[in-house]
Amino acid sequence: MKDFKSAMSPSNLNKYEFLEIESTPARNGEIVSIFLNNPESRNSMTWKMGEEFQTEINRISKLKILPRAVIISGRNDVFCAGGDLNLLRSFSEKTFSQNKRDMRKFYSFFLSIRNLQSPVIGALNGHAIGAGLSLGFACDLRFFALEGKYSFNFVRLGIHPGMGSSFLAPELLGKSLGSRLLFTGETFNGEDAKNWGLAVTSVPKNEVYAKALEFAIYMADGAPLALQELKKNLYQWKSLDKALKKEAASQARNFISDDFRETLTSVVEKRSPIFLGK
């Protein structure tokens, strides 16, 4: 790659409570970076963060000249801790129909990146758990932190995997490995992600964003119309949509189960949950 130091001078466009936005000039365009920023709960996903995220994606999609790439990363030395605990607790107090509706809406906030014409790069600069890891998997390309901890921990919380993970994990890793990670909720690190071909590369966490930005500027030399058509043709949109419908229904049932209430109780009591299948 070339020397990009002269181009990597970001400007701050922040106007949100739970996001920070930066624009970095690239050849004949820009790179837009979206940083998740919820310092009180390790960048956990709140409803408000989701609304802001979709607002920013909509803003980007309406630009006269689309960014050459969009980078998703995190502040506070972490990528994303997954769904906010208070938000998850609120689902346990709703009906099945309400949860099914709200889960589809919540997914759509963050998975709006799949509809963005510009390539999206995930800079997973620290731990990414549950729905937070799903967001990373929904990106077109990914950079991981060597020391980061990554897990689809849904089943360990008493709920079906969500945010598209039941589709995205097998899509990217193959059915055997993807299913293993979903069924067990086991943790992997950046070295694993690199070995599995999931990462463009994995580096120390304080280098992840810079490496992703350097790559984005390099990729910006490609013809934008060709890249946009490529992204459109790479994905099986209908298959993901079917998975989201099934996930929303399954999570809606799980949120009103005794097992999920046990998860919430165990968090307060700082112990491991005991699931009875009720």
Q: Supply φ then ψ for residue 19, to 5 degrees.
A: -135, 155
> Average of pLDDT values for 29-43?
96
Name the DSSP letter for residue 43. T
Dihedrals phi, psi of 13, to nearest 5 degrees: -120, 25
**Cβ–Cβ < 8 Å for 253, 96:** yes
CA angle 227, 173, 180 (to 5 degrees): 155
Which residue intervals of the chain are DSSP H helices?
47-61, 85-91, 96-111, 131-138, 165-173, 175-184, 190-195, 208-219, 224-234, 237-255, 258-269
pLDDT of residue 236: 61
Least confident piece of the model among 47-51, 129-133, 259-263 = 259-263
- String of DSSP letters for 229-249: HHHHHH--HHHHHHHHHHHHH
**For residue 266, is pLDDT > 50?**
yes
- Mean pLDDT, range 32-48, rounded to an integer: 97
For 175-206, what is each residue's pLDDT tens digit?
Answer: 999 999 999 999 999 999 999 999 999 999 99
User: In the predicted model, is pLDDT for residue 73 greater than 80?
Assistant: yes
- The pLDDT of residue 9: 55
239 pLDDT more than 60: yes
Q: Is the pTM higher than 0.95?
A: no
Confidence class for position 230, pLDDT limits 50, 70, 90: confident
At 141-183, the pLDDT tens digits run 999 999 999 999 999 999 999 999 999 999 999 999 999 999 9
Report the distance separating Cα 122 and Cα 181, nearest Å. Answer: 19
* Residue 91 DSSP SS3: helix
Q: How confident is the model at residue 2 (pLDDT cuts 50, 70, 90)?
A: very low
Residue 173: what pLDDT? 97
Mean pLDDT value across residues 52-56: 97
- Whether the Cβ atoms of residue 139 and residue 120 lie closer than 8 Å to each other: yes
